[in-house]
Amino acid sequence: MKNIKSLKGLAVAFALAGIVFIGGQHVYAEPSGEAQDITSGQKYSDTESDIISLTQRIENLEKTVPSIGTQPEPKANAGGSVQTDYLDMAVKYVALLSGLMALLLSLFALYNCGNVNKKLILKDKQLKKELDTLKSQQEQLQEQLQEQLKGAQGESVALRADYNVLQEQHNRMQLSATAVRAGNIPVRKMPPAPPSINELIQARFRKLSDSYKELMHLWTTDQGAFRSKRREFTEREHPQEFCCSNAKERAVNGNLDPVYVNAAAGTGTFWAVPIEEIPGKYFVFPSPTLAYEKQQHWTGGMKEAFKSNYQDGMFCSNFEVIRPAVFIKQGDSWNLVTAGDLSLH
């Protein structure tokens, strides 16, 4: 900006110089309008005056022409008109050059001003764009802060409500404790806790075990009483029967797992009684009419379903179920969950 101001100052200076030189030209130039012949006193127009001046100059030159062989010194003409013409021309050229220089400097200054204005406009646009971006970011931040503030206010209200509830409960408890200490309210005894699932299962197993022992005893002592008790047991406990279906294959290949499937009533080697406390699972006992021997142990699936004290050659029709096995039923198939325990006598 300082350079532009300097250029403007130079342009003004040159313009003033041109005006001064042009004014000087008019001072040294002959007056315009009508001219007057000094000798005759007659007035002429500018054109006629110029013609008379040229005629006088020619006559003066003829008078001053030296003779042949002589070199007279030149004499100044009357009024110094020749020098005046040269001076006028010099003043005009200087004034013209000064004006041109001032014009060029002014144009250059204007050009620089235009470039500076363009840069300023671009800079202003860039600043406006950045300002708009900052305003947009500010609005977004304000919206986020408002949302967070609303959420915090909602949480504060919820916490305040919870605090009021807890405070009310605390006050009630203090009043109750004060009344109990004063003897106004008798202390209530808490009811006994309900039995656990394990306790219910154990109670169920003891009941089944007693019925099962009775059936085993009647099977070897009184067949008629056995049939009657079996009918009662079936109506009460709804037992299902199944057996190992691949006993023959396992006799050939002892590495095969037993496959347990449904069997008709009176033909199964296992009795399954539903566990009411655990839907889908069954207590499993060996059939009370079963004789525990080698074939049942190795190929009939007994050794997988029950842990026992069996030894080769044993034949037992009397045994005790220490703990029943647990099976689940899937369609016609039965899958072992937990093996039971037997004590063979």
Q: pLDDT by residue (tens digit) across 221-261?
A: 898 899 999 999 999 999 999 999 999 999 999 899 999 99
Distances (CA, A) of 265 to 230, 250, 301, 321: 11, 24, 19, 21
Do residues 340 and 305 make contact, with C-beta atoms less than 8 angstroms apart? Answer: yes
pLDDT at 170: 81
pLDDT by position in tens, the chain (length 345): 555 555 555 555 555 555 555 555 444 444 444 444 444 444 545 556 656 666 676 666 555 544 444 444 444 444 456 567 777 777 777 878 877 887 888 787 777 777 777 888 888 888 888 988 898 888 888 888 888 887 777 777 778 877 887 888 888 887 777 766 666 555 566 667 666 667 777 888 888 888 898 998 898 889 889 999 999 999 999 999 999 999 999 999 989 999 999 999 889 999 999 988 888 899 999 999 999 999 999 999 999 999 999 998 899 888 899 999 999 999 999 999 999 999 998
- 83: how many CB neighbours lie within 10 A of its CB? 12
Contact 91, 26 (CB under 8 A): no
Dist. CA 139–CA 146, nearest whole Å: 10
CA–CA distance, 263 with 245 (Å, rounded to integer): 9
What's the pLDDT score for residue 29? 45
3-state secondary structure of 30: coil
Q: List alpha helices for the chain, DSSP H.
A: 2-28, 46-64, 81-182, 197-221, 223-237, 247-252, 294-298, 302-305
| Joined tokens for residue 19 | 């005006």
The alpha carbons of the chain give a radius of gyration, in whole angstroms, of 69
pTM: 0.45
Sequence-distant (6+) residues with CB within 8 A of 218 are 225, 226, 229
Q: Which amino acid is at 55?
A: T
C-alpha span between 160 and 115 (Å, rounded): 66
Q: Is 262 helix (H, G, I), strand (E, B) or coil?
A: strand
Residue pair 54/37 in contact by the 8 Å Cβ criterion? no
pLDDT at residue 321 in the model: 92
d(CA 15, CA 101): 8
pLDDT digits (tens, 9 = 90+) for 172-208: 887 777 766 666 555 566 667 666 667 777 888 888 8
First CA to last CA distance, the chain: 121
Q: Are strands 270-274 and 240-244 parallel, antiparallel or unpaired?
A: antiparallel
CB of 95 closer than 8 Å to CB of 25: yes
Single out the residue of 314, 292, 311, 288 nearest to residue 301, CA to CA: 292
d(CA 106, CA 100): 10
Kindly state the DSSP code that residue 261 receives in the 8-state scheme: E
Rounded Cα–Cα distance for residues 95 and 337 (Å): 124
